[in-house]
Amino acid sequence: MEDDAAFAERFEGERGRLRGIAYRMLGSASEAEDALQEAWLRASRAGTDGIANLPGWLTTIVTRICLNMLRARESRREEPLEAHLPGAGAGGADAAAPGHREDGPDPEDEAVLAESVGLAMLVVLDTLAPAERVAFVLHDLFAMQFDEIGPMIERSPTAARQLASRARRRVRGGTAAESPSEAEAAARAGQRRVVEAFLAAARGGDLQALVELLDPDVVLRADRQVVPTPEPVVLRGARHVSQGAFAAAARVPFSAPALVDGSVGLVMAPLGRLVLALAFTVDGGRITAIDVVADPERLRDMRFGVLEG
């Protein structure tokens, strides 16, 4: 029978991979640490006698814990994010997992993880149903086979394949499997150039570059939650809109290009949690309208996708 020290060493050797899986499933470094702590407790209590494939066994444990956490999250969607962050899960009087931090990951650690996955990807993953998210993460991001994934989520391999396929379409920003036409792809490429230039100018504090990207008669409409104000905000004209963009400069580091309702826009997602989206109307290489959405109900109704390349 393997002693505690030997098992702790083997668990620590798997920690980086397991943490990567848990983070992509949960989108939170704090929750990922909770999942690993719970996995450690379950595995150490069960013992490893008769376990021929320790990495696969630990992956199954972490996957099932994450799936349960995602399902629990679905039932409390209206709670603030702070209610989900660390503390409620796995600790108790039992010994902490090797490498476990009692104070949880720090904000810089969260930011590095979010950047490694991509803000747009985290935003889209958060729109998937729990089983879809797990199947997609394991297959598309960690190259696991569906005959392995199926038992982990209590589905057949065929059902797991279908879940991952459905999630993949969502990640690409739509519900249809077909690729965009040449004309649509060209239009999207043009939108992307303009939106990325807009983001670069905002990040660089280049007011003149921003003005040049905006149509002289551009209109910006923002939900009242953006400022916040009693009424929605409307700005007209390139100078006013560019100044408004500068006023939101603190959000720029947490922004990334993404597909927003089928067109190229921006998502603002500190630590991968969506707080607002910008939808752009581009005509003739200039931005003619910007819709800034922060209302939670509107955000839930929008479709997001990850840009390729």
**Average of pLDDT values for 291-298?**
94
| Spatial distance between the Cα atoms of 138 and 120, rounded to a whole number of angstroms | 18
Full-model pTM: 0.81
Q: Are the CB atoms for 258 and 271 separated by under 8 Å? A: no
Judge whether residue 17 has pLDDT over 90: yes
Q: Are the CB atoms for 274 and 225 separated by under 8 Å? A: no
**Average of pLDDT values for 79-106?**
47
Taken as a whole, the chain contains a residue count of 309
| Paired tokens of 178 | 């077909």
Whether the bond between 130 and the residue before it is cis, its omega within 30 degrees of 0, is no
Exposure string over 65-81, b if 16+ CB within 10 A, otherwise e: bbbebbeebeeeeeeee
CB-CB neighbours of 297 under 10 Å: 7
Instruction: Using alpha carbons only, give the angle 273, 186, 218 rounded to the nearest 5 degrees.
Output: 65
> Which amino acid would we find at residue 60?
T
Judge whether residue 8 has pLDDT over 60: yes
263 Cβ contact list (under 8 Å, min separation 6): 188, 191, 279, 280
**Average of pLDDT values for 242-255?**
81
Judge whether residue 84 has pLDDT over 50: no
User: Which CA distances in Å does 29 have to 23, 114, 306?
Assistant: 6, 9, 21
pLDDT given at position 50: 80
Phi/psi of residue 52, each to 5°? -85, -30
User: Which CA distances in Å does 63 have to 52, 164, 213?
Assistant: 18, 15, 45
Residue with more model confidence, 181 or 34: 34
pLDDT given at position 245: 83
Phi/psi of residue 261, each to 5°? 50, 40
pLDDT given at position 106: 60
| Paired tokens of 134 | 């797990």
